[in-house]
Amino acid sequence: MSHTKILTKKKKNIALIAHDERKQDLIEWVKFNKGTLSQHNLFGTGTTGSLITRELGLKVKTFLSGPLGGDQQIGAKIAEGEIDFLIFFWDPLESNPHDPDVKALLRITVVWNIPVACNRATADFLISSSLLSEEYKRSVIDYAKRYGT
């Protein structure tokens, strides 16, 4: 299978998303990591991004709320190469009407081989990695060749 290398710059484009039941966890995590996160470009779904800006003063480019298409918008930005990293505190025990959107978003992170954390422990490991502040060449399977597009 053919692969393509994609360069991720030192300053990352990081998307932050949290389901309602996990928003406070994400706010606490962002507050703890504010210094590090402030060195990168931040993106978020509507409610989550607005909360981070209002409560912590960090600039976050916001999209629609997740159930209204924000998860899909962030997925599109991943596919377009504009998001390098995803922190998504989701609630696996709560059924959401936009569960297919969540699955699609997680699928696209795998397709484009970007780091993704769905819980605080993984987010802690990712943000403390020395790779966060370095250029990084990620290897992406060339699905276009595989599927003839």
Contacts of 83 (CB under 8 A, 6+ apart): 13, 14, 15, 43, 74, 77, 114
**Beta strands at 85-89 and 60-62: parallel, antiparallel or unpaired:** unpaired
Q: Respond yes or no: is residue 142 known to be catalytic.
A: no
CA distance linking residue 26 with residue 46, whole number of Å = 14
Residue of 20, 25, 71, 84 marked active site: 71
CA distance linking residue 89 with residue 86, whole number of Å = 10
CA distance linking residue 137 with residue 112, whole number of Å = 12
Q: Which residues of 21-59 are buried (b: 16+ CB within 10 A; e: fewer)?
A: ebbebbbebbeeeeeebeebbbbbbbbbbebbbeeeebe
**Residues tagged active-site:** 71
